[in-house]
Amino acid sequence: MRLFSKILWLLAFLAATFCWMVLFEHGFSMTGFSKGVREEWRTLTELVSGKEDPTAKDTPVNPPKRQ
């Protein structure tokens, strides 16, 4: 039972940290928070799964040199 308690505390800590960082990066308003959660969750799932979003812009592998 103690392990279950520790796992719940860890999950609560991760959720609170995620929300706190979204608030600081996207602003302390409901619209900024809701848009930020969607954006950061999409970024986090792409990072974990290793798949890129097909709507993301393609960047060239070798950008042109500056003149």
pLDDT at 65: 77
Coil vs helix vs strand at 51: coil
Confirm if 25 and 36 have CB atoms less than 8 A apart. Answer: yes
Question: Rounded distance, CA 40 to CA 64, Å?
Answer: 30
Residue span of the structural domain in which 36 resides: 2-49
Coil vs helix vs strand at 60: coil
Q: For residue 42, is it within any domain?
A: yes
Q: For residue 22, is it within any domain?
A: yes
What pLDDT digit, counting tens, does each position of 3-62 carry?
999 999 999 999 999 999 999 999 999 999 999 999 999 999 999 888 765 566 666 567
Question: Rounded distance, CA 25 to CA 43, Å?
Answer: 14
pLDDT at 28: 93
Helix ranges restricted to H, the chain: 2-26, 30-49
pLDDT at 51: 74
Number of domains in the chain: 1
